[in-house]
Amino acid sequence: MNLALFDLDNTLLNGDSDFEWSQFLIRIGILDRELFEVQNLAFYEQYKAGTLDIQKFLDFQLKPLSRHPRITLDEWHQQFMRESVMPMITQPARELVKQHQAAGDVCVIITATNSFVTAPIAREFGIKHLIATEPEQQDGEFTGRVAGVPSFREGKITRLNSWLTERGWTLDSFADSTFYSDSLNDLPLMSKVKNPVAANPDETLLAHAQQQGWRVLDLH
């Protein structure tokens, strides 16, 4: 039995669903462009540079969820999937997932982006296991706060270990463990698996992958 872990944004997707969700809300007039676009761009640049303060970002990203009923958010997300997400899904990404599924591997999307944004995307790929940052909920509505450990940098290791423990597994339970990611932020988890793959890597990850002899893959 093998384990296949997939980062989502800029890995399986040719773009960043976290960033694009805020841009979508700006485009349909839910968020004020003047107030939010500059912040959204700044946080995205910090993420790419490896300097993101995840708590500050989550405060920015999750607060808008608390201002609207869940039923309304779900309707907006359906439009978001059609207009923003589907164009970011490439055929090579779909084929990669299908290869692992056909081999009988346990497939998991593990992403820093919150589960409200990413759960429908995981379903689109046919991947039933999702480890994502969890927005706190009360009575089915979002509070604007995060629940538990964000699935970011070392937090991905924490969240993955908890997920494995719940199922009676460890990473050593698998004959092979593969993690596909584009980002330097995922170096902590990439160092834990047996087969790290730099997929559409940023410059820092590409240099590290070449130095370590890791496989480099282009899904775009």
Catalytic residues: 7, 9
Tokens of 21: 């969700």
> How many C-beta atoms lie closer than 10 Å to residue 56's C-beta?
12
Provide the 3-class DSSP secondary structure of residue 17.
Answer: helix
Q: What angle do CA 76, 12, 9 make, to 5 degrees?
A: 60
Tokens of 33: 């462009």
Strand bridging mode 129-138 / 141-147: antiparallel
> How many C-beta atoms lie closer than 10 Å to residue 25's C-beta?
21
DSSP line for 134-195: EEEEETTEEEEEEESS-SSTHHHHHHHHHHHHHTT--GGGSSEEEEEE--GGGHHHHTTSSE
